[in-house]
Amino acid sequence: METNNIYEGKKVMISQPMKDKTREEIEAERKAVVEVITKAGGEVIDTIFASSPEEAQNKPVWYLSKAIEAMSTVDIVVFLPGWENARGCVIENTIATAYGVAIVDMNQEINGGEE
């Protein structure tokens, strides 16, 4: 992860693949990233939503809509590895790019900036 303090005083959202994962698996994958961001003075908003309402006919769309709503409140979106293969994350990346929300791509961080 970047060593300069881009997170200080910023609200941050983490975008990560969640399909077929338990809440525990999702939280474990993001734990180290949350620690780095909070130690740097950033605030990670919780985008792990407990459940969708009964009337939601398309639950993945409901969850995506809540993530997009959350994105409207942040300064930075951090994309965890594998995001490019998860359609919800790809949509979130497209929105962040189109609307000028800062992006940190952990694929680039892990690969030293190369893809």
Average pLDDT, the chain: 88
User: What pTM, to 2 d.p., does this model score?
Assistant: 0.84
User: What's the CA gap between 25 and 104, in Å, rounded?
Assistant: 21
User: In the chain, what percentage of residues exceed pLDDT 70?
Assistant: 90
* Nearest Cα to Cα of residue 41 among 70, 15, 5, 75: 5
Domains in the chain: ranges and CATH: 11-110 (3.40.50)
The b-or-e profile of 14-24 (16+ CB within 10 A means b, else e) is: bbbbbeeeeee
Say yes or no to pLDDT of 113 above 60: no
Three-point CA angle 32, 36, 40, nearest 5°: 165
For 1-16, how does the pLDDT look when each residue is reduced to its tens digit (9 = 90+)?
444 689 999 999 999 9
